[in-house]
């Protein structure tokens, strides 16, 4: 299925392929992988090899490895079972997991309260490291909930960027575990530290206490000892307040220091999803009622993303380069927002979504996203590489297939091109969405190029009168607005000419009143003159009077104000006015 722009493709992992021996085996492995995905919940997702390979960890400790050798063809997949020495392996089901950035370390929490640490690094005689699922993978440590002072299974586990700290969250309790492997792969013992996420509790006797409700807790992408937390503050009346905080973990003192803290005020529903900006100075919050908000920790401001409200926000994720933000909703819809989050004319609002993908319609059954992972591209891709011009993302549905998305980006800034999004909407038969994208663009030249695509598409498509009038009114308002600083008068006149063609087609179809409304919004005397000529010929007195009041009388009044007869060439009527005056004289 086409997604965003000409080059955007949604690759189903179960696509049929040509029936050769090699590709038949690929197809069989893909079907087997999809069966496993339907029976087992995915718990972790990680890209490898700069977006050319994808790892999916299932709850039964199976690793699915997808290899994308062809840019548009189906991937090859391998299914590998990780064996470990914990008793009752058949009953061991994972609840949450995380994979290190090198794909060599994995931490997993089980439903019966264990924490499993897996290590794929080979320490014998300096052998090269491998990745999870390879033959060298072994269980590094199996910790029970009692040994790390957790009241139950950990709902969320995270590994820091240097793969030496593990964070486990269980309700309001958060624990940090040191992962230090010896020369033979043995740990010197897990160093467990209970975190205090509330400053007043941190000053107490250091006894394990339940802190405020923790909604999201993870390590920083860049600083291995930085912990980012979003939690609900203590209720004060009926208002909802949330805290966005950053802590610094000092390993020597086994202590957390509060670095920054900001209070989020103004939300009317509970926060269900969180995403931090790449610089970690802003946080995007998704709520139970479907709203998406941007909170600036430095300024303490809260702004709203328009066009949301599609049900509970299940997941939010910000691209590591800051190019895009993905928001997944409970109804199976995924929105993609511009990572720049530029302001619109309304100071309190952000830009609307650039793209929308409804997975339930794609797959034909009700589904929602369980995991979403952006692929980090190489810093300097090869000049002839098609991968360098795309952003890659992978998403896994709950009990559903794995999908891979590719987005075209500008070679300069890494932003999703609005022209490509507009082109996709036009090809998809939804020009109203294309107009929404064009209207939100702050760059006048980019808006001009988008309208150059939209207006001819409106001429080609057969729309219902009310829908067509609404779209043309919106386009006419954009053309007549004064926010065209970087666009030349000739380019602006080209847009008027395209809209005028639509109005002339309305006149030929006998819909002169609709053409009159369009010309009035467009402020186009040429189209209004054509309406007047038609009204005179067809003896439509009310319409002719309306046009006369709009263009003929102001034109004559301006010349009378100049005094005397028409003596200068500059005072001669324009061709549009001349046609209107001639038609009025005949009438």
Domains of the chain, by residue range, sit at 417-523
Is the model's pLDDT at 420 over the cut of 80? no
Are β-strands 173-178 and 192-194 bridged in parallel, bridged antiparallel, or unpaired? antiparallel
Is the dihedral angle over the CA atoms 135, 140, 142, 148 positive or is it negative? negative
* Cα–Cα nearest to 354, from 450, 289, 245: 450
For the chain, give the percent of residues with pLDDT over 90. Answer: 1
Is the model's pLDDT at 413 over the cut of 50? no
Is the model's pLDDT at 206 over the cut of 60? no
Number of Cβ atoms within 10 Å of the Cβ of 509: 10
pLDDT of residue 274: 93
Task: Give the C-alpha separation, 30 to 333, whole Å.
Answer: 25
Task: Give the C-alpha separation, 1 to 3, whole Å.
Answer: 6
Is the model's pLDDT at 474 over the cut of 70? yes
* Cα–Cα nearest to 439, from 483, 491, 487, 490: 483
Q: How confident is the model at residue 581 (pLDDT cuts 50, 70, 90)?
A: low
As given in the structure block, the two tokens for residue 248 are 């610094």
As given in the structure block, the two tokens for residue 455 are 């207006």
In this prediction, residues 234-253 reach a mean pLDDT of 76
Number of Cβ atoms within 10 Å of the Cβ of 354: 25
Least confident residue range of 266-270, 306-310, 407-411: 407-411
As given in the structure block, the two tokens for residue 445 are 């030249």
* DSSP assignment letter at 134: S
Backbone φ and ψ of 559, nearest 5°: -75, -35
Tens of pLDDT, residue by residue over 477-515, are: 777 776 666 677 777 777 778 778 778 878 887 788 888
Mean pLDDT of the chain: 69
pLDDT of residue 257: 81
Q: Between 255 and 384, where is the model more confident?
A: 255
Q: Between 416 and 372, where is the model more confident?
A: 372
- Indicate the pTM of the whole model: 0.60
- 29-43, 63-77, 410-424, 547-561: range with highest mean pLDDT: 29-43
């Amino acid at each position: 299925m086409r997604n965003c722009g000409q080059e955007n493709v949604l690759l189903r992992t179960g696509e049929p392929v040509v029936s050769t021996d090699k590709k038949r085996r690929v197809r069989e492995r893909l079907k087997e992988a999809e069966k496993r995905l339907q029976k087992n919940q995915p718990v972790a997702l990680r890209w490898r090899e700069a977006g050319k390979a994808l790892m999916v960890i299932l709850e039964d400790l199976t690793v699915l490895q997808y290899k994308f050798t062809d840019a548009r063809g189906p991937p090859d997949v391998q299914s590998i079972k990780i064996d470990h020495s914990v008793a009752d392996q058949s009953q061991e089901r994972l609840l949450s997991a995380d994979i290190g950035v090198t794909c060599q370390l994995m931490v997993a929490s089980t439903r019966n309260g264990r924490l499993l640490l897996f290590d794929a690094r080979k320490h014998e005689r300096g052998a090269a490291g491998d990745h999870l699922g390879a033959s060298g993978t072994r269980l590094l440590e199996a910790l029970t909930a009692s040994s790390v002072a957790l009241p139950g299974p950990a709902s969320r586990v995270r590994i820091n960027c240097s793969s030496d700290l593990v964070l486990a969250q269980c309700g309001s309790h958060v624990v940090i575990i040191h992962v230090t492997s010896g020369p033979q792969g043995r740990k010197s013992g897990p160093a467990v530290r209970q975190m205090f996420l509330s400053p007043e509790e941190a000053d107490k006797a250091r006894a394990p206490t339940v802190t405020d409700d923790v909604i999201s807790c993870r390590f920083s992408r860049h600083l291995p000892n930085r912990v980012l937390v979003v939690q609900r503050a203590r209720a004060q009346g009926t208002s909802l307040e949330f805290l966005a905080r950053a802590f610094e973990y000092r390993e020597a003192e086994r202590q957390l220091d509060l670095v920054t803290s900001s209070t989020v005020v103004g939300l009317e529903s509970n926060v269900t999803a969180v995403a931090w900006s790449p610089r970690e100075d802003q946080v995007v919050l998704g709520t139970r009622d479907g709203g998406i908000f941007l909170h600036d920790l430095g300024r303490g401001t809260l702004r709203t993303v328009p066009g949301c409200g599609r049900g509970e926000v299940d997941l939010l994720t910000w691209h590591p380069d800051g190019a895009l933000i993905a928001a997944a909703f409970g109804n199976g819809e995924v929105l993609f927002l511009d990572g720049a989050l530029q302001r619109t004319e309304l100071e309190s609002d952000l830009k609307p979504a650039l793209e929308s993908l409804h997975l339930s319609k794609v797959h034909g059954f009700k589904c929602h996203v369980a995991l979403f992972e952006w692929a980090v591209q190489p810093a300097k891709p090869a000049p002839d590489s098609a991968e360098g011009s795309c952003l890659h993302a992978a998403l896994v549905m709950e009990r559903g297939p794995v999908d891979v998305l590719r987005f075209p980006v500008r070679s300069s800034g890494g932003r999703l091109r609005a022209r490509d999004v507009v082109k996709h909407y036009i090809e998809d038969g939804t020009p109203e969405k294309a107009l929404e994208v064009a209207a939100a663009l702050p760059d006048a030249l980019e808006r001009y190029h988008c309208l150059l695509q939209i207006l001819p598409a409106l001429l080609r498509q057969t729309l219902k009168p009310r829908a067509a009038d609404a779209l043309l009114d919106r386009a006419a308002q954009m053309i007549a607005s004064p926010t065209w600083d970087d666009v030349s008068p000739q380019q602006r006149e080209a847009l008027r000419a395209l809209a005028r063609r639509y109005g002339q087609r309305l006149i030929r179809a006998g819909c002169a009143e609709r053409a009159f409304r369009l010309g009035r919004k467009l402020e186009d005397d040429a189209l209004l003159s054509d309406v007047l000529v038609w009204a005179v010929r067809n003896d439509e007195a009310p319409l002719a009077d309306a046009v006369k009041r709009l263009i003929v009388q102001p034109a004559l009044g301006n010349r009378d104000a100049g005094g005397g007869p028409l003596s200068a060439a500059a005072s001669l009527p324009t061709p549009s006015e001349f046609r209107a005056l001639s038609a009025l004289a005949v009438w």
